[in-house]
Amino acid sequence: MSEILVVATIKVNDGEADTAIAGLTPIIEKVHEQEGCLSYALHRDINDPNTLVFVERWESQDALNQHVQQPHMAELGALAASIAAEPPQIVFCESLGIGDSAKGTIRG
């Protein structure tokens, strides 16, 4: 089974980005300990500091399925519900690997 890439975007209420990042930090640390997590990185939109973007790499669909069942993901959901200006946008992807093999995929 191939790796799964997830891109999740959360637009937070004005002025709550720093609160969101502080709340997400311990959750991210727990995710990094999960088996099958290849990378799980939080980014901030340069043009909109209230938009946070997770870029995740999972070893397999099974690893991703286990991830979403973890108690800390319920914590993330509760945090997102309290600070999100709109529902999160989540995209699940597999690489097409087009072009240069080193540049055509996202690697950790």
Spatial separation of the C-alpha atoms in residues 64 and 35, rounded to whole Å: 10
pLDDT reported for residue 108:
64
**Which bin fits 89, alpha (ψ -120 to 50), beta or left (φ > 0)?**
beta
* Residue 70 scores a pLDDT above 80: yes
CATH number of the structural domain 4-93:
3.30.70.100
pLDDT in tens, 39-49: 999 999 999 99
pLDDT reported for residue 103:
82
pLDDT reported for residue 92:
95
This prediction has a pTM of 0.89
User: What amino acid occupies position 32?
Assistant: H
Give the domain ranges of the chain.
4-93
Residue 95 pLDDT grade (very low, low, confident, very high; cuts 50, 70, 90): confident
Q: For residues 62 and 36, is the Cβ–Cβ distance under 8 A?
A: yes
